[in-house]
């Protein structure tokens, strides 16, 4: 239950790790989140051409690594050569684009839990294969790592829920549709992750009444959320967890 003034420690998720201070979706960013006192990180997953599941936001390596190319044209051997840190700051040179399996192992070492966001990209061949790959990796988590799943794709959440009915499922929307309650029920999902600019007190009163959790992304200024905690906002997804952890 959130307080009236801010989120509890378990309700601050470091977006792509502590991506304000370290290169997003790298082991360094997850380590930095833990060092800032975060207990949860958000991360994005997608498949390569050889079906390796990797932790990256975009559908190409262009923006966040030293290489070029669509994920659908690259193998694990290709991405293993790339530098995923120097683009952010030369002090992170040598950082790699990690697989989900590598990240799950690191989370155990850092004592972190994760919101695994399943990205649906055009090059993905089959949803079933995607969710089964996620399932295989998350089931290697350590005893101190909790996992929840989020996606903009309701079909990915449905397929994941069918495999892992005990995991929390969060539907991602910029602005939730009017019929959010029915859409959640169809998955079924218990949680909405929405853009913080679309928050409203009226909607939070409805979600609280229905027992639906709401987390806001990607907010890097605690002042923006002050009026929503008392109304039922559950948590925040932020590039800079320190700002919300006091
Ligand atoms: O989970 C919230 C946020 O990560 C959704 O958007 O584009 O940053 O993955 P994006
Ligand atoms: Mg994301």
For the stretch 128-161, pLDDT in tens is 999 999 999 999 999 999 999 999 999 999 999 9
CA distances from 17 to 50, 95, 107, 185 (A): 26, 14, 11, 30
Tokens for 124, please give them.
């993905």
A 10 A CB-CB count for 89 gives 13
Residue with tokens 């050889």: 50
Q: At what angle do helices 127-138 and 154-163 cross, to 10 degrees?
A: 50
Cα 60 to averaged position of ligand 2 atoms, centre (Å)? 15
pLDDT digit string, tens, across residues 93-121: 999 999 999 999 999 999 999 999 999 99
- Assess whether the C-beta atom of 39 lies below 6 angstroms from ligand 1: no
Residue with CA closest to ligand 1 atom 3? 217
For residue 5, the model assigns a pLDDT of 82
- Spell out which residues have Cβ within 5 A of ligand 2, the ion: 44, 117
237 CB under 6 A from ligand 1? yes
Q: Is the CB of 24 under 6 A from ligand 1?
A: no
Looking from the CA of residue 119, the nearest atom of ligand 1 is 9
Alpha-carbon span 229 to 108, nearest angstrom = 30
Strand 12-15 versus strand 53-55 pairing type: unpaired
Q: Is 15 a catalytic residue?
A: yes
Q: Report the pLDDT value the prediction gives residue 246, as an integer from 0 to 100.
A: 78
In tens, the pLDDT along 60-99 reads 999 999 999 999 999 999 999 999 999 999 999 999 999 9
């Amino acid at each position: 239950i959130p307080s009236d003034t801010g989120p509890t420690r378990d309700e601050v998720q470091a977006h792509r790790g502590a991506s304000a201070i370290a290169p997003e979706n790298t082991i360094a960013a997850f380590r930095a989140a833990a060092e800032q006192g975060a207990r949860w990180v958000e991360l994005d997953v997608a498949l390569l051409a050889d079906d390796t599941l990797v932790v990256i936001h975009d559908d190409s390596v262009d923006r966040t690594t030293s290489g070029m190319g669509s994920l659908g044209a690259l193998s694990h051997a290709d991405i293993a050569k790339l530098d995923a840190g120097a683009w952010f700051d030369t002090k992170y040179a040598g950082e790699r684009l990690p697989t989900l399996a590598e990240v799950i192992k690191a989370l155990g070492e850092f004592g972190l839990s994760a919101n695994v966001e399943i990205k649906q990209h055009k090059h993905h061949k089959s949803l079933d294969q995607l969710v089964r790959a996620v399932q295989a990796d998350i089931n290697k988590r350590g005893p101190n790592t909790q996992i929840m799943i989020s996606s903009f794709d309701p079909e990915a959440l449905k397929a994941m829920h069918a495999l892992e009915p005990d995991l929390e499922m969060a539907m991602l929307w910029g602005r939730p549709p009017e019929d959010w309650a029915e859409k959640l029920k169809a998955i079924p999902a218990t949680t909405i992750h929405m853009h913080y600019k679309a928050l409203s007190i009226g909607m939070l009163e409805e979600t609280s009444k229905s027992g639906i959790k709401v987390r806001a992304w990607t907010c890097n200024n605690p002042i923006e959320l002050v009026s929503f905690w008392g109304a039922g906002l559950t948590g925040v997804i932020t590039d800079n967890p320190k700002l919300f952890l006091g």
